[in-house]
């Protein structure tokens, strides 16, 4: 059984002139990496509040993946940050890449306040630790486009969408911080990852999801 996994990153947004998740998606495509026993699709998405309706939901519908892993940048992240909970909240005072702000304080009107991640977080954390990659936990993915996609994705997963889905925040790459500093742009950051660490983290996450999907199919069979 070959399972299909979709991994997504984000492009730049106000205050973030580079995005490590866009780099990771492009680099994995460049080297042609694919997980064992699974097929990986990768996309980089624009940071805009109408992203779900405009781009993300149509993509998931078209590809119909078994798992979706969304990666996003957080300057506050201390290593790879495993998000456990999507919240039905959106800030209305932070513009997206187009300059538009959210029109309401909820992702979905009358939606449930919070939805848990469906990623195999324990396995991902264990393997990240084994690989010497810094990892932390979070139960609050913020109130920007990252959390909006996370909430929408988890709602979809609970209503017949992908079997496995969730969101992971990562910090800037050390190379990005150095390059931006050299160009006169100082970006706040709590930590950084090397390019090798970020690529390993994405591969570890994808492989953990592939393994969980195969395990699930064996149990059902």
Q: How far is CA 45 from the centre of its chain?
A: 11
Contacts of 121 (CB under 8 A, 6+ apart): 82, 84, 166
- Residue tagged active-site, from 18, 125, 146, 189: 146
- Residue tagged active-site, from 18, 169, 189, 209: 169
Structure-block tokens of residue 201: 């983290």
Q: Compute CA distances 102 → 19, 21, 92, 115, 150, whole Å.
A: 21, 23, 5, 20, 16
146 counts as catalytic:
yes
DSSP code string of 44-81: EE---TTHIIIIIHHHHHHH--SEEEEEEE-TT-SSEE
- Residue tagged active-site, from 83, 125, 189, 209: 83
Do residues 72 and 116 make contact, with C-beta atoms less than 8 angstroms apart? no
83 counts as catalytic:
yes
209 counts as catalytic:
no
**Active site members:** 83, 146, 169
């Amino acid at each position: 059984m070959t399972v299909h996994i979709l991994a997504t990153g984000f492009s730049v947004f106000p205050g973030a002139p580079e995005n490590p998740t866009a780099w990771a998606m492009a680099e994995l495509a460049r080297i042609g990496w694919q997980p064992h026993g699974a097929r990986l699709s990768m996309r980089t998405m624009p940071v805009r509040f109408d992203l779900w309706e405009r781009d993300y939901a149509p993509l998931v519908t078209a590809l119909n993946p078994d798992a979706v892993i969304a990666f996003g940048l957080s300057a506050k992240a201390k290593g790879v940050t495993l998000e456990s909970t999507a919240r039905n909240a959106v800030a209305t005072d932070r513009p997206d890449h187009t300059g538009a702000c959210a029109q309401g304080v909820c992702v979905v009107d009358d939606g449930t306040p919070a939805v848990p991640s469906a990623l195999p977080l324990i396995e991902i954390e264990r393997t990240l630790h084994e690989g010497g990659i810094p990892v932390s936990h979070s139960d609050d993915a913020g109130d920007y486009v990252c959390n909006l996609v996370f909430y929408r994705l988890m709602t979809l997963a609970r209503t017949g969408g992908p079997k496995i889905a969730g969101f992971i925040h990562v910090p800037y790459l050390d190379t990005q911080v150095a390059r931006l500093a050299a160009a006169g742009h100082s970006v706040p950051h709590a930590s950084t990852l090397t390019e090798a660490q970020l690529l390993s983290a994405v591969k570890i996450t994808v492989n953990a999801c592939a393994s969980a999907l195969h395990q699930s199919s064996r149990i059902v069979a």
